[in-house]
Structures are given as C-alpha cells and as structure tokens.
Amino acid sequence: MKQIIGVLSLQGDFLKHKQAIEQCGHHALYVRDFENLKKCDKLIIPGGESTTMLLLIEKLELRQPLLEFGQTKAIMGTCAGLIVLATNREHLPSDPLKLIDVKIKRNAYGRQVDSFIDTVKLKLNGKDIDFEGVFIRAPKIMELGQNVIPLGYHGKDVVMARNERILVATFHPELTNAVTIHRYFIDKVG
Ligand code: GLN
C-alpha cells in the first residue's frame, strides 16, 4: 500500500529525499507545519544545518508535534537530521529531540573540504550490502545507548543505526542513486 512519507522541509536537502520516496513508489509530502505532519505515515528529517533546523522547529512550534509523532510513527534522520534526533546538545540553540539514544559529535571529520565519499558496509535484513556513503561535514556517532542497533559501518565507526521507530545515518543516502536505505526505512522501520 502507498504510504505518505513526509520530508521536513524547513531547510536543507529535501528535494532529493522526495525523489527517492517517489522512486520507491510512495507519496512524498513536504512538511512545514503541523497540518501536513498529521497527514504523514512516516517522516524524514534531511541533512542541512542542525542549528538552523532546530531554530526553525522552535519558531514554527513543531517541537511538541514532532515529539508526539516520534512516539508512534517512524522517523529517519540523515546527517543534520540525526543531530536533531540525538540525545546530546553539542552547541545547539535548544535541546535536540532525544528520540534515539545516541551521542554524536558534530563536524567530526573536519570542515567542508574534508567532506568525502566512501563505501559503507550495511547489514540490512540479514544481508551485507556495500553502499556509497556521501559524508558532508558529517557528525560521528560516539555512543549507542540501550535499544539502539548498529546497521552500518565506515571502518570502525557506526554510521547508521536504529531503534524501534527511529533510523539515523551520518551520511546522505538521498545523494546516491540506490534507494536501498529509503526502501528499508519505508518497509521495515516502525
Ligand atoms: N555539519 C552540519 C551540522 O552540524 C550537518 C551537515 C549535513 O547535514 N550535511 O548540522
């Protein structure tokens, strides 16, 4: 059945997520207010700049609706989206949403010039998959809390993880042609 997958479109890389969702055969909806959030079965919080994104979440009074959404429905956060969903504040203007128990370090690989593409090793549905990881001023996951399962590695670093309803990646799955991760999120998370 077709699902409605929202993309939080306050700032950042939302167009490519919309295209990936449509390629998976589902409806994509840009979410900028509570009205549209209510229509969604699942939500993606894209990459971008987490400071700006959190400021806009507060300004548009989306914190509480997003927290409530995350209690019953699935959310995927990529890069800045992961930072917004994590537990530690790390120079953010307000607390992150803390919907997944991971501690992160922002810009952990350095500055914009230290952005890179490299293979990440995923383990999805019991299968090992090589995926092209696009890392843009990416954070690192420093600690995984209880109920958080690692799903992807770059060397020894965990770069993708999930709990029951929340899936996070430090890289940008929407910038590669393969929709493996979007499909996994839509079919298997939540
Ligand atoms: N460096 C950004 C931040 O700290 C994240 C970058 C990204 O989403 N590509 O919010």
pLDDT at 76: 98
Q: Please state the φ and ψ torsions of residue 28, each to the nearest 5 degrees.
A: -110, 140
Find out whether 34 and 57 touch, Cβ atoms under 8 Å. Answer: no
Examine the residue annotation and report whether 174 is marked as an active-site residue of this protein: yes
Q: If you compute the radius of gyration of the chain from its CA atoms, what whole number of angstroms results?
A: 15
- For ligand 1, what atom is nearest to the CA of residue 47? 8
Residue closest by Cα to atom 5 of ligand 1: 80
Measure 152 CA to ligand 1 centroid, in angstroms: 19
Examine the residue annotation and report whether 154 is marked as an active-site residue of this protein: no
Q: What fold characterizes domain 4-188?
A: Rossmann fold (3.40.50)
Pairing of strands 157-162, 166-169: antiparallel
Tell whether ligand 1 has an atom less than 6 A from the beta carbon of residue 101: no
Q: What is the pLDDT along the chain (190 residues), one digit of tens a residue?
A: 899 999 999 998 899 999 999 999 999 999 999 999 999 999 999 999 999 999 999 999 999 999 999 999 999 999 999 999 999 999 999 999 999 999 999 999 987 778 999 999 999 999 999 999 999 999 999 999 989 999 999 999 999 999 999 999 999 999 999 999 999 999 999 9
Examine the residue annotation and report whether 24 is marked as an active-site residue of this protein: no
Q: Which residues contact 138 (CB under 8 A, 6 or more apart)?
A: 79, 107, 108, 109, 115, 170, 171
pLDDT at 160: 98
Retrieve residue 153's tokens. 């590695």
